[in-house]
Amino acid sequence: MAEAGEAASAPFEGPEKLLEIWFAPSAAAVPDSQMPEDGRTGLRKVPSAVWEEMLAIVKCQVLSVVNGAEMDAYLLSESSLFVSPHRIILKTCGTTLNLLGLPRILDIAADHANMHSVYQCFYSRKSFMFPERQLGPHRDWQQEVQFLDNIFRNGAAYNVGKVNGDHWLLYMTTPSNDLGAPRSSSHSVPPPVIEHVFPDYTIEILMSDLSPEARQPFFSTFSSPDTPSSHALSLSQNLGVTDIFPPHLTTLDAYSFSPCGYSSNALIKWGEDPFFSSSNITDGSSPTEGYYTIHVTPEEGWSYASFECNVPLHPTRSASAPDVKSIPDLKTLVQRVVSIFQPGRLSLTLFISSEDNESDETGESPVEAAQRAFRAALCAPVKILNENSSSDSSITEKREGRRRYRRTDKINYEFGAYDLAFASFELYDHK
């Protein structure tokens, strides 16, 4: 994305800073869970103007909002904000001051939602392309860690991947159920027992060196009566973004930037898919709505696209061709996303809660199954989207050409409450 007022030729930092703060282990555990107002509890009761005030500290603005059944998705001038009753996810790119919004978020949760402590916090980002352009604590990973350590006493920092290549940085605190204790308390105990039918799950696909064919559509040349939103929705249909997940389960909010760039948020009613609804989700602690978000910086020299999603996908659901009316499995999702953006290099991370996250009947752990899905999706030839596709044709009918990747890194981590699968790939050939 190109920042407002910034010359199109100036380098733009596409890789995002991702801050995720949990004030309770689930929506059912927020203090006012039994007292909804217009169906809203916890952080979702906070007025939009209050979030906008916080975002001004971060140096970004709200472009539009989609209100779902379980969360609100804010599309920002620099990426996205997702608000659930018990959790906030702030994802910002460029030279935004993501972490400087954290103290204000903590005050907002206390003042507006009666949540005075943090259950768990995560902060992560890919290695920057232009670290010298960053401001504040984001100039250096150690400064970011120190900033977080000054707020949390139970945090740990990790560097995942090659220090002299693409790598992923993570800071996380251990869960605490002492929800009335000061937010900096070092007291850490196992989380309260709350049944979740599906694990907490986040997949990120971070792509660099996009092909010229994939970059070109994101240079906006629209004019009236088109708007940034209408142009972006049309672009989403033409490129197959609207087919990543079943359209009938998806509410998409998209924006085309001038002179270039693209962002979209989507809310997905995955609990209505037969594969998931057959699990008989009945209690309020189990979510049935998720999100994905896409951000694209298309300029040559620093092209970048990111995809993030928290729908709990099965690694591979069937040997048959995917049904475009069903939630995709992980392998199919990766193929659909990569075929749109055609990166020369990409990193994938799957972060999954490990409570009751046991190996399957073959003895394969969830993170190893994810690694297998990553490799199956990318090391076999990946079909490429035909730019002349129409939105009503099927996924398999809309692809031509092939490119294949080779894995350059594979790392699995066990953090206690969470497991991580990290892998990086580079383009091997293109036919």
State the binding site for substrate.
12, 78, 257, 299
User: Structure tokens of 425?
Assistant: 């790939």
* 41, 30 Cβ separation under 8 angstroms: yes
- Any idea of the CA torsion for 49, 51, 52, 56, to the nearest 10 degrees? 140
As given in the structure block, the two tokens for residue 215 are 């970059």
Q: Is 133 exposed, middle or buried (0-12, 13-18, 19+ CB in 10 A)?
A: middle
| Angle, CA 19 vertex, CA 18 and CA 24 arms, to 5° | 140
Phi (first) and psi of residue 339, to 5 degrees: -65, -25
Q: Catalytic residue at 295?
A: yes
93 labelled catalytic: yes
Task: Specify whether the CB–CB gap between 289 and 267 falls below 8 A.
Answer: yes
Q: Write out the two tokens for 235.
A: 């672009």
Q: Residue 263 catalytic?
A: yes
- ω before 182 within 30° of 0 (cis)? no
| Backbone φ, ψ for residue 218 (5° rounding) | -90, 10
Among 295, 309, 347, 365, the active-site one is 295
d(CA 101, CA 120): 16
Q: Which amino acid is at 75?
A: L
Q: How far apart are CA 93 and CA 251, in angstroms?
A: 23
Distance from C-alpha of 226 to C-alpha of 23, rounded to nearest angstrom: 41
Q: Catalytic residue at 79?
A: yes
Whether the CB-CB separation of 275 and 317 falls below 8 Å is answered with yes
Count of C-beta atoms within a 10 Å radius of residue 180: 10
Q: Which position among 93, 121, 260, 309 bears the catalytic label?
A: 93
The amino acid occupying position 24 is A
d(CA 245, CA 328): 7
End-to-end alpha carbon distance in the chain: 29
Catalytic residue among 79, 208, 220, 264: 79
Residue partners of 285: CB distance under 8 A and separation at least 6: 25, 26, 27, 28, 29, 194, 195, 196
User: Residue 345: how many CB atoms within 10 A of its CB?
Assistant: 17
Q: What are phi and psi of 294, to 5 degrees?
A: -130, 140
Q: Which residues are bridge partners to 203 per DSSP? A: 309, 350
Of these residues, 26, 208, 263, 347, which one is catalytic?
263
How many whole angstroms separate alpha carbon 28 and alpha carbon 70? 11
Q: Which residues, in sequence order, are CB contacts of 120 under 8 Å at separation 6+? A: 21, 22, 172, 173, 174, 175, 176, 417
Active site residues: 79, 93, 263, 295
